[in-house]
Amino acid sequence: MTTRGRVDPRRLAREIAFEQTVELPSGAFPIELEERVVGRVEEVQRRAPSLYRAVVSYPLAAVERELPQILNLLFGNVSMLSGIRIVGIDWPESLLRTFRGPGHGIEGLRRLAMADRRRPLLCAAIKPVGLSATDLARQCATLALAGVDIVKDDHGLANQQSAPFRERVVRCQEAVLAANRRSGRNCLYFPNLTCGLGELQSRIYLVNSLDIRGVVVSPLLVGLDTVRWIGETTDLVLFSHPALSGVFFQPGHGIAPEILYGQIFRLIGSDGVIFPNTGGRFPVDSQTCNAIQRELRRPLGHLAPAWPVPGGGIDAAKIGHWIDKYGPDTVFLLGSTLHARDDLLLAAEEVVRAVRRRAL
């Protein structure tokens, strides 16, 4: 982690190590616990004026294996301090082993999409909220016929009366399957599963009964552990949406995007992680995007690599540039720049052609 500000960095690191475990000052508990459960400051390095990098290690005895307690140990109480940022986690193998991680990963989703290794995947969002299920299903058909690999619900499509979950999912899947029969392709439809906990089981049941292979989830809206649970109890491909995640990324305090998206979202089983791409609607720099994609794909214990899914305003006209930047193991998520065009089919066909041309 890094610490920032005028406090004594060694003292702050030690306070963090105590706050995140015993929540008591030294002396207020049996001395033998200090060795057994208290965090240990391994290193404090000055990186810049008022900026320090500290390494704190925690005994597994304090962590245990459930995700909520891992999150708590990582940033629970210290989230309420300031100037502390998690910039790296060295996961012990035994802790990683308690998570399944991505159920399909890069290889698995490629097989489902029947896309060869030389090209990235294209995902397009159906939107906006307010359209009827019929209108949204029509968009699905258009995008599938154009050759898009994955058509996904906009993450704001929940269970609104304009297109209730059941009706929308039935119609959209039907539309995509019909388009596939016409095109001979294999477009996948991923509905948005972000919903109340009481509805979750019945929605998963519906999704499975329609032979839908994946879903969009928003880990910070439904709970990170709820997504882990969906991943570990179903065979669905999980695309995680970053809604609400921005609160972690304020300057100097929080969890670095490459750690939250690249490690934690992957740990909970995301096969693809949607993140705001640089140059789009959200203020993200290129270096951060590179770090996110690196983290998602790098070896991490037994966890399968996951797809970076840059989105949030990718300009379809510049898809070649983004392919050069991110490479073939990427899902490009297109939304607003397709829908802003008069002819959705034409717009989608253009970008599909551009992607396949690059792959030759």
Map the footprint of its own copies across residues 37-76, applying CB under 8 A: 37, 61-69, 71-73, 75-76
Q: Which residue's CB is nearer to its own copies, number 18 or number 91?
A: 18
Min. distance of Cβ 219 from its own copies in angstroms?
9
Q: For the segment 216-255, give every residue that binds its own copies (CB under 8 A).
A: 218, 221-226, 228-229, 232-233, 242-250, 253-255
CB of 24 vs its own copies, minimal distance in Å: 5
What are the C-alpha distances in Å from 330 to residues 190, 320, 355? 17, 13, 11
Interface positions, 106-135, toward its own copies (CB under 8 A): 127-131
Closer residue to its own copies in complex, CB, 23/107: 23
Residue identified by tokens 């963090």 is: 16
CB of 314 to its own copies, least distance (A): 13
Q: Given the complex with its own copies, which of 3 and 20 has the nearer CB atom?
A: 20
Q: Which of 194, 234, 263, 270 binds its own copies (CB under 8 A)?
A: 194
Of residues 20-39, those binding its own copies (CB under 8 A)? 20-25, 27-30, 33, 36-37
Instruction: Name the residue nearer to its own copies (CB basis): 303 or 338.
Output: 338
Q: How far is the CB of 27 from its own copies (least distance, A)?
A: 7
Specify the residue, 97 or 358, whose C-beta has the smaller distance to its own copies.
97
Q: What are the beta bridge partners of residue 153? A: 126
255 to 274, contacts with its own copies by CB under 8 A? 255
Which residues within the stretch 144-163 sit at the binding site for its own copies (CB under 8 A)? 154-156, 158-162
According to CB under 8 A, which one of 282, 325, 328, 356 is a site residue for its own copies? 282
Contacts of its own copies in 74-93 (CB under 8 A):
75-82
Nearer to its own copies, 17 or 115 (CB): 17
Residue 24 to residue 22: CA distance in whole angstroms: 5
- Assess contact for 183 and 148: CB atoms under 8 A: no
Q: Which of 137, 143, 195, 334 binds its own copies (CB under 8 A)?
A: 195
How many CB atoms within 10 Å of residue 201?
10
Give the shortest CB-40-to-its own copies separation in angstroms.
14
> x/- site string to its own copies, residues 299 to 338, per CB under 8 A?
-------------x----------------------xx--
Instruction: Give 21 or 240: the residue with its C-beta nearer to its own copies.
Output: 21
Residue 151 corresponds to which tokens in the numbers above? 């058509």
Binding-residue total with its own copies (CB under 8 A): 86
